Structure 1
């Protein structure tokens, strides 16, 4: 039972899950939408890109068995010094971000700000920084996407005294700017870690608490941030508990997931099992609270076109009727216009009908049509002229090229320009690589990603293996170049390749774990 449970969260299984998600969301669904729902040709092209990518992902995964990297440590560092250094740097940058911010989005949500005001507040908090303050934006990305989740897992692997403090501080930090999925960077790796030691009671508890809390956190952050509502957001918490749940969306997962993964490694320890399930159960509660208080997807009715109703046409070509009114998910299944426009930004004009519908559309439709819209914009506006890395800040700076904010152009084509000019529509890594380097970029990036998964399947670094779940999440939704550079993964891989420290101080405990036995069998 425990062995089978761990195998579902092993690096090898995470690779297969990654392939499955890529196949379903970016190959199967676009293909079905093209043939069954009269989708445009760009859905078919996205499916083709995904098929080619999956083929070379498997090639890269198998290539890791032939080409093995031997770690070349040139310096030895105490694990506690490494953890303390990263965490102090994180606290320093958080202090600078908060002190220099024009406003705090979380506080603005309690001031009855409308959606536009909240969007502007969120943009000004970090993304709209100019000059030297841009350093804060990239430091935040590097620390919270790779280094911070990694050291959080290390604190649990080495059973440090203040391990919970290392998890909770970043976890609560993720609430203040109301980003719906930011918390996933912490909760997903923690869940993966907890699964390794799932046979420990405490880690089982942490795991399931974290799992259950995720949808609630997403829902809460969606509501708090104001998406899906044109009305003012009034938040009046009645007690401390309600105040706590109104703090964020999914940003806390950046800290929670690595923590849960860590708990799963030492699941056979009673305390770790408790931590695991508490974390699992807390995720949906926090997501729900964050979404509800953010003001996004506030309950509204939508109109359904009928044959005898007077209709109003907008520039999207969608006719909105005035007579028949439905609310909730019913409109999605009854209204043909809603069904046809589900994989389109225009669906927001058809179904501003509730939090649940908004979240379903945001999770299962937006990533797909954002990818197709990116391909369409690339072919129509830029005439298939490859960008050669200009969409990346690092590569454009390195080769002295003007950076092209392609993600912002995609967002602008979908929703119009925003007041802060910081909004962006990020798409899956295969699209990012295609618009930059063509089919060659799709092939090489897929081989590299597959090789990383293959190299880590035999790794004894539980913290790094646990981090692969958020690495997968980042490249599926945020691009390959941005994950490597802005997310700090390239820097983290280089550091771990040349730096040696004792990751496992509890060797006896670890050697008796499912992870060690699994490695001996070559899982």
Structure 2
């Protein structure tokens, strides 16, 4: 299993994710439930997988390596770069914590209900208006790309501050009680340990990650709330039957399994249903991408929020989002040609990052490759980290006294 996390195999992470979360479930779905939508998701999954895989194989050619090396690189000093990232990220965290009504983590420990925790999660940064909207952008880029890169680099050079920064980062991620957020901190380290031949540390990292996710999930679901505060009959504590593989069960473990293995698939189906029912089978033609909508003068359509409202009805803060795999969003935006183009773009970005031969950067690439299995490519590119680390890989060379020791020759 750990061999899949080797640098030369890193490009296969989305392939594995798409097969596990969408291809196999859609095949099973053909024989039960919404047959038509399952067939459509199966066709989209196969198209995206084939396009991505063979595009990456095409980019493995020597011509691409020559192209990469021909692009002029800007030298970026590592110490200053890391310092600016750490200061910027934690400044936003401190400001948000000081100005938020309450913190989800602290209130959950005091016994807050699920609905209260969910509201506080949104109010931490997502409901900000005016100039404070920019804080969310800095926060997302920070936790999804730059902070993992800094921490990975600290571990690569065995800095004495590496555990301090990692601990502070994990604590900041736990403040909003988003269940899988710890992945962005631990996944790059897991890959570093695997490729350094430190299997025991890799398994230890996996164990800590699993423990953190279980604890955060329990807190997010009102693990400290009493029945007087949040009765078990409250629909927020139960999952509707159509979204639940374990009908009648209320275990935290069953909830996590259902959330991880089934919800991504059924949400993708809902996106396809939304296209047929609400959009009348039409495509958004770019207006679901904020930058494209602005450039073309169209009214922006947030598909994530619209599909969430289509499924559940929007929440009190109006920020509820239903994310889905990148190629389903591509299909709703530009039809089948969008699936092909998005898959090629993903393969290009992955190959650029691998060509950098920088261990820390390639390790952080895994975050984006995991994320695209559950969210839009435009989001991952512009605010989810992939675009920024691709730019760093293509146009910059991060320089430190350890630069040469961080590089790894990958098979081409």
Aligned to 1:153: 152
Task: Tell me if 1:23 matches 2:19.
Answer: yes
Larger mean Cα displacement after TM superposition, 366-375 or 412-421: 412-421
Task: Tell me if 1:60 matches 2:55.
Answer: yes
Does the C-alpha gap of structure 1 residues 233 and 168 become closer, same or farther in structure 2, counting only changes over 3 Å? Answer: farther
Do the aligned residues in 2 keep the contact of 1:79 with 1:503 (CA within 8 Å)?
Answer: yes
Aligned to 1:474: 371
Does the C-alpha gap of structure 1 residues 188 and 413 become closer, same or farther in structure 2, counting only changes over 3 Å? Answer: same
Please point out which of 241, 248, 254 is paired with 1:351: 248
Shift of 1:100: 1.8
Aligned to 2:325: 428
CA offsets per residue over residues 81-117 of structure 1, 9 Å max, x none? 1111111111221122112212111121133222212
Aligned to 1:281: none
Does the C-alpha gap of structure 1 residues 416 and 40 become closer, same or farther in structure 2, counting only changes over 3 Å? Answer: farther
Distance 2:222 2:105 in 1: 14
- Equivalent positions of 1:109-508 (< 5 A) are 109-198=108-197, 203-226=198-221, 232=227, 344-345=242-243, 347=244, 350-502=247-399, 505=402, 507=404
Distance 1:229 1:416 in 2: 27
Distance 2:155 2:283 in 1: 45
Shift of 1:230: 8.8
Count of aligned residue pairs for this structure pair: 405
Distance 1:11 1:384 in 2: 41
TM-score between both structures, scaled by the size of structure 1: 0.71
Shift of 1:495: 3.4
CA offsets per residue over residues 266-310 of structure 1, 9 Å max, x none? xxxxxxxxxxxxxxxxxxxxxxxxxxxxx9xx9x79xxxxxxxxx
Classify the secondary structure of the residue corresponding to 1:460: coil
- The one of the two structures with greater contact order (alpha-carbon pairs below 8 A, sep at least 6) is 2
CA offsets per residue over residues 60-88 of structure 1, 9 Å max, x none? 11121233322634532321111111111
Does the C-alpha gap of structure 1 residues 27 and 82 become closer, same or farther in structure 2, counting only changes over 3 Å? Answer: same
Do the aligned residues in 1 keep the contact of 2:245 with 2:262 (CA within 8 Å)?
Answer: no
Aligned to 1:42: 37
Shift of 1:510: 5.6
Distance 1:229 1:27 in 2: 37
Do the aligned residues in 2 keep the contact of 1:53 with 1:442 (CA within 8 Å)?
Answer: yes
Distance 1:358 1:227 in 2: 13
Do the aligned residues in 2 keep the contact of 1:109 with 1:233 (CA within 8 Å)?
Answer: no
Classify the secondary structure of the residue corresponding to 2:373: helix
Shift of 1:458: 4.9
List gaps (5 residues or longer) in structure 1.
235-294, 302-313, 315-337
Larger mean Cα displacement after TM superposition, 109-118 or 146-155: 109-118
Do the aligned residues in 2 keep the contact of 1:226 with 1:233 (CA within 8 Å)?
Answer: no
Shift of 1:450: 2.1
Shift of 1:226: 1.8
Do the aligned residues in 2 keep the contact of 1:180 with 1:221 (CA within 8 Å)?
Answer: yes
Distance 1:207 1:451 in 2: 28
TM-score between both structures, scaled by the size of structure 2: 0.89
CA offsets per residue over residues 223-249 of structure 1, 9 Å max, x none? 111269995598xxxxxxxxxxxxxxx
Does the C-alpha gap of structure 1 residues 71 and 170 become closer, same or farther in structure 2, counting only changes over 3 Å? Answer: farther
| Alignment RMSD (CA, Å) | 2.9
Does the C-alpha gap of structure 1 residues 26 and 466 become closer, same or farther in structure 2, counting only changes over 3 Å? Answer: same
List gaps (5 residues or longer) in structure 2.
none
Do the aligned residues in 1 keep the contact of 2:359 with 2:406 (CA within 8 Å)?
Answer: no
Classify the secondary structure of the residue corresponding to 1:435: helix
Shift of 1:498: 2.4
Does the C-alpha gap of structure 1 residues 128 and 207 become closer, same or farther in structure 2, counting only changes over 3 Å? Answer: same
